[in-house]
Amino acid sequence: MTTSRTQTITTSSSTAGPSRSRPIPPPPIDLTAHEEEDLENEATRRRGRRRQRRRRPRGKAARAAAVREQAAQEARERAIRARQQEEEVLERRRLLAEAATARSHRETSPSEVSASPRRPVVEIRRSAKGKGKAKAQPVGGDPDDGDDGDDDDDEEEDRAPCERCKAKKLPCQMQAGKRSSIICKPCHDAKVRCSYSGRPTTSKQRESGSGERIAVMESQMAQSLADLRSLREADSKTHQYLRQLLRRQEDDHARLIAMETRMALMVEESAEEEEEEKEVEGEVEQDGEGEAGEMEVEEEGEGEAPVPPTAKAVASEKGKEKEVVA
């Protein structure tokens, strides 16, 4: 009966509700674990600060290098623009010199001979009571062609009579030079050799004027050639100067890069040295704190030592010894 009752009680207690046992107390807080976590966090913070300190000089050096690189790039671009402008100026000068030489060649070249055919000149004999004969007139061709008439007038104006007709003041027909078998009529009638050559009287003047023009053109050509030579020399000098300038810029750029690398290395070394010094100082401080604690402990131990006897106690002890001896 008792067992059945206990069984029923246990079943009823198990099904009725939660047990009335005492609550389990929470585990004690481990302070050492918190201290270790704090130490780890502090160590991570220190490492992060060190990294930041190391990165700062690197960032400064990188920014300085970027600024120097930009300045060098701008200098190179300025040099390139200057070279392009110089080349454009030289090309313009060259074209102007070529145009001047071509113009001088055109001016010195012989004038083009007119390709228009000359109209034949036929002698027309007229019975006149005057001393001379009528002037020969051209036959054929276009009567409205005024250019040919102008050319004939110019030729007649340019040409002079022969020496005999000029001396005797006879009208010379001026047919010499057009046909070898025809001479002027007065010389033919007088059976005298005509001294008229068919060349204009102003030929010497024209030759002298053309010679002067040729001399002027030759001097101009010589001047233009000298200008061209000077331009070529200036062009070669400018190219040499630009090459030297580019080489100097490249050398300066290489020096700047080397200096930047050295500066970065020096900054890193100084940062590492500062960190090592700080670590050494921290260790020294920790050692000093430990030694101070040991000194305090020693001083406390010395304070607990027995006090030495006074002079009165020593005198009383000596009196007691004397009494015992007596």
**pLDDT digit string, tens, across residues 166-191:** 777 777 766 654 554 556 777 777 77
Burial 71-108 (b: 16+ CB within 10 A, else e): ebeeeeeeeeeebeebeeebeebeeeeeebbeebeeee
Residue 196 DSSP class: -
Q: How many CB atoms within 10 Å of residue 198?
A: 13
Range among 37-41, 58-62, 169-173, 221-225 with highest mean pLDDT value: 221-225
pLDDT at 107: 62
pLDDT at position 251 over 70? yes
| Average pLDDT estimate for 214-240 | 85
Q: What is the mean pLDDT of the chain?
A: 69
Token code pair at residue 279: 């670590």
| Average pLDDT estimate for 197-214 | 60
pLDDT at 190: 78
pLDDT at position 246 over 60? yes
Token code pair at residue 150: 């102008």
Please give the helix or strand (H or E) that residue 178 lies within, else none.
none
- DSSP secondary structure letters along 298-315: HHHHHHTSPPPP-HHHHH
Please give the span between the terminal C-alpha atoms of the chain, in angstroms, as a whole number.
Answer: 99
Q: How confident is the model at residue 320 (pLDDT cuts 50, 70, 90)?
A: low
pLDDT at position 301 over 60? no
| Average pLDDT estimate for 125-135 | 47
Token code pair at residue 324: 């015992």
pTM for the whole structure: 0.26
**pLDDT digit string, tens, across residues 65-118:** 888 888 888 888 888 888 888 888 888 888 888 887 777 777 655 444 444 444
pLDDT at position 153 over 60? no
